[in-house]
Amino acid sequence: IGLYCAKELLDNGYEVKGTVRNLAKKEEVLNTFKKNDINIKNLSFEILELTSDNGWDKAMQGCEFVMHVASPFRIAIPKNEDQMILPAVEGTRRVLEASQKGGVKRIVLTSSIVSMMSSIRRGQFGPKDWTDINYPNLSTYIKSKTLAERSAWDFIYKNKKKSKMDLVVIAPGGVFGPPLG
pLDDT tens-digit series, residues 119-159:
988 888 888 899 999 999 999 999 999 999 999 999 999 98
Residue 92 burial by CB count (10 A; 0-12/13-18/19+): exposed, middle or buried? Answer: buried
**Single pTM value for the model:** 0.92
CB atoms near residue 21 (< 10 Å): 13
Q: Which of 145, 158, 162, 164 is catalytic?
A: 145
Give 93-99 contacts, CB < 8 A, sequence gap 24+. Answer: 93/151, 93/155, 94/50, 94/53, 94/56, 95/56, 95/66, 95/68, 96/152, 96/155, 96/156, 96/165, 96/167, 97/56, 97/155, 98/56, 98/57, 98/59, 98/60, 99/60, 99/63, 99/66, 99/165
Q: Is 26 a catalytic residue?
A: no
Burial of 175 (0-12, 13-18, 19+ CB in 10 A): exposed
Mean pLDDT (whole number) for 160-174: 90
The rounded distance, in Å, linking the Cα atoms of 143 and 86 is: 11
What is the phi/psi pair of residue 166, to 5°?
Answer: -90, 150
Comparing 7-11, 98-102, 113-117, 172-176, which segment has the lowest mean pLDDT? 172-176
Looking at residue 113, its pLDDT comes to 93
Helix, strand, coil % (nearest 5) of the chain? 40, 15, 50
Q: Alpha helix (H) ranges present in 102-138?
A: 114-117
pLDDT at site 175: 87
Mean pLDDT within 10-35: 96
**How far, in Å, CA of 61 to CA of 102, rounded?**
5
Q: Which of 130, 62, 60 is nearest to 96 (CA)?
A: 60
pLDDT digits (tens, 9 = 90+) for 55-80: 999 999 999 999 999 887 777 778 89
Q: What is the mean pLDDT of the chain?
A: 93
Question: What mean pLDDT do residues 6-10 have?
Answer: 97
pLDDT of residue 142: 94
